[in-house]
């Protein structure tokens, strides 16, 4: 019954034209804010997915490193036990160390990663080659794959240069580190390719053969600094990492991709929480329009309230009428906003209407990703704020009903 009265009050022409105008302003305000939130959250999701995809190509599903020191022995017996863990599909031994690459007067300090020839089966880096090819050579004739930033710093063209780059690595057995000739090992190495993932990686990393790295660092066969693991699609990394921690013992650190980049992912979650907080405040401001609209409708329907109370309607039911009017106003605005926001996002995804400024190796438009959780969150905020905005006018309507004598 109260719903029918609420619907009638909503669609009926008000005696004061200003009330009609403010009512529609309330609907439009909710619609605009809702559409804006859907678009902003979807764009944030798009960038979040993009960043995660880039990090997932560089960082593998799980990494295993020693808890103390830089190196550990990863012989076939250990690798076979790791392969026996359910969900593990690939293992890439890695030897990583700081190195200086020099070409004439140009130099770059990098993390030089020695990997096996089948590294592409575990890592997504080879999919981001922009020049040349992902080829690391062998221990006798190593090759170098550099990030685009390293390539620019050395002023070379990977895959086309006829002159080698000189790589300097620390001599672990040196007794006099003050003597550069003794403190460093050096070797000439040709750059066969360059990759571009994102600036953080492009400026700091280069890849070469793992056997060459062991030779340069005077390591024993089987010694590595890290094991990088790939998992089967659909496998829960947390479950596999727990099994690996039990297998490896306390002397090793087993980290999922999230744990390898925990600061990044935490920062992204904090940013999204800030967006949610801003969204709440914006909708709260928009809700004042609903509150003012309902207050004026209560004043206009004062005579109707007395009639309803005289006919036997209880004050709480009178209050629910105006609460439902506010809910209808918010619902109309929210539905219009959702349709507009989703339409804009679908159009951006299909036609790339809004471009990114400058140049990018990856995309040149704003990415979007619509998520049901965000739509439910926005809808939930609108519901809560509508109830808060309608509570005072509804209470006022109840008080008006209680001060009117009821005819028996």
pLDDT in tens, the chain (408 residues): 676 666 666 666 655 566 677 788 888 988 998 999 999 999 999 998 988 888 888 999 999 999 999 999 998 999 999 999 999 999 999 999 999 999 999 999 999 999 999 998 899 999 999 999 999 999 999 999 999 999 999 999 999 988 999 999 999 888 777 777 788 999 999 999 999 998 999 999 999 999 999 999 999 999 999 999 999 999 999 999 999 999 999 999 999 999 998 888 888 889 888 988 888 888 888 778 788 888 888 888 777 777 777 777 787 887 888 888 888 888 999 999 999 999 999 999 999 999 987 665 578 899 999 999 999 999 998 888 888 888 888 888 777 766 655 554
The verdict on 119 and 161 lying in the same domain is: yes
Beta-carbon contacts of 179 under 8 Å, excluding residues fewer than 6 positions away, are none
The verdict on 159 and 206 lying in the same domain is: yes
Indicate whether 408 belongs to any domain: no
The verdict on 117 and 242 lying in the same domain is: yes
Indicate whether 187 belongs to any domain: yes
Q: What is the Cβ-side half-sphere exposure of residue 39, based on CA atoms within 13 angstroms?
A: 17
CA angle 11, 13, 14 (to 5 degrees): 115
Q: Are strands 205-209 and 106-115 parallel, antiparallel or unpaired?
A: parallel
- Which of 215, 238, 260 marks a domain boundary? 260
The verdict on 249 and 357 lying in the same domain is: no
The verdict on 22 and 126 lying in the same domain is: no
The candidate with the shortest Cα–Cα distance to 148, out of 97, 198, 189, 209, is 198
- Which of 260, 278, 305 marks a domain boundary? 260
- Tokens in use for 128? 């981001």
The verdict on 107 and 166 lying in the same domain is: yes
Pair 214, 114: CB distance under 8 Å: yes
The verdict on 251 and 304 lying in the same domain is: no
Structural domain tally of the chain?
2
The verdict on 51 and 65 lying in the same domain is: no
The verdict on 256 and 270 lying in the same domain is: no
The verdict on 351 and 232 lying in the same domain is: no
The verdict on 238 and 281 lying in the same domain is: no
The structure's pTM equals: 0.78
Indicate whether 347 belongs to any domain: yes
Indicate whether 407 belongs to any domain: no
- Which of 215, 244, 260 marks a domain boundary? 260
The verdict on 32 and 128 lying in the same domain is: no
Q: Are strands 143-147 and 252-256 parallel, antiparallel or unpaired?
A: unpaired
Indicate whether 68 belongs to any domain: yes
Which residue range(s) make up the domain with 164?
Answer: 60-260
* DSSP 3-state of 226: strand
């Amino acid at each position: 019954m109260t719903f029918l009265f609420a619907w009638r009050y909503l669609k009926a022409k008000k005696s004061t034209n200003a009330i009609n105008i403010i009512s529609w302003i309330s609907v439009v305000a909710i619609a605009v804010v809702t559409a804006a939130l859907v678009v902003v959250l979807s764009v944030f999701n798009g960038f979040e997915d993009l960043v995660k995809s880039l990090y997932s190509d560089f960082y593998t599903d799980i990494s295993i490193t020693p808890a103390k020191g830089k190196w550990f022995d990863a012989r076939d017996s250990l690798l076979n036990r790791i392969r026996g863990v359910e969900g593990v599909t690939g293992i890439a031994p890695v030897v990583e160390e700081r190195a200086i690459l020099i070409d004439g007067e140009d130099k770059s300090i990098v993390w030089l990663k020695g990997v096996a020839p089948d590294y592409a089966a575990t890592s997504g880096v080879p999919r981001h080659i922009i020049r040349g090819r992902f080829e690391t050579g062998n221990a006798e004739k190593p090759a170098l794959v550099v990030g685009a930033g390293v390539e620019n710093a050395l002023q070379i063209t990977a895959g086309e240069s006829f002159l080698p780059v000189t790589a300097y690595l620390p001599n672990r057995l040196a007794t006099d580190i003050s003597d550069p000739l003794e403190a460093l090992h050096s070797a000439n190495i040709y750059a066969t390719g360059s990759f571009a993932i994102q600036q953080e990686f492009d400026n700091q990393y280069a890849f070469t053969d793992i056997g060459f790295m062991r030779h340069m660092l005077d390591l024993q066969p089987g010694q590595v600094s890290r094991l990088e693991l790939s998992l089967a699609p659909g496998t829960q990394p947390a479950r596999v990492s727990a099994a690996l921690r039990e297998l490896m013992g306390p002397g090793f650190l087993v980290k999922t991709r999230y744990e390898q980049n925990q600061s990044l992912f935490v920062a992204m979650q904090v940013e999204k929480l800030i967006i949610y907080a801003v969204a709440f405040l914006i909708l709260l401001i928009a809700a004042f329009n609903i509150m003012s609209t309902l207050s004026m409708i209560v004043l206009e329907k004062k005579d109707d309230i007395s009639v309803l109370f005289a006919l036997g309607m209880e004050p709480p039911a009178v209050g629910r009428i105006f609460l439902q009017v506010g809910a209808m106003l918010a619902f109309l605005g929210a539905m219009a906003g959702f349709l507009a926001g989703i339409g804009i996002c679908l159009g951006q995804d299909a036609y790339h209407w809004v471009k990114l400024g400058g140049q990018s190796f990856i995309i040149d438009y704003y990415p979007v990703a619509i998520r049901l959780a965000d739509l439910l969150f926005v809808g939930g905020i609108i519901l809560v704020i509508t109830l808060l905005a309608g509570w005072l006018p509804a209470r006022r309507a109840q008080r008006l009903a209680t001060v009117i004598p009821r005819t028996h």
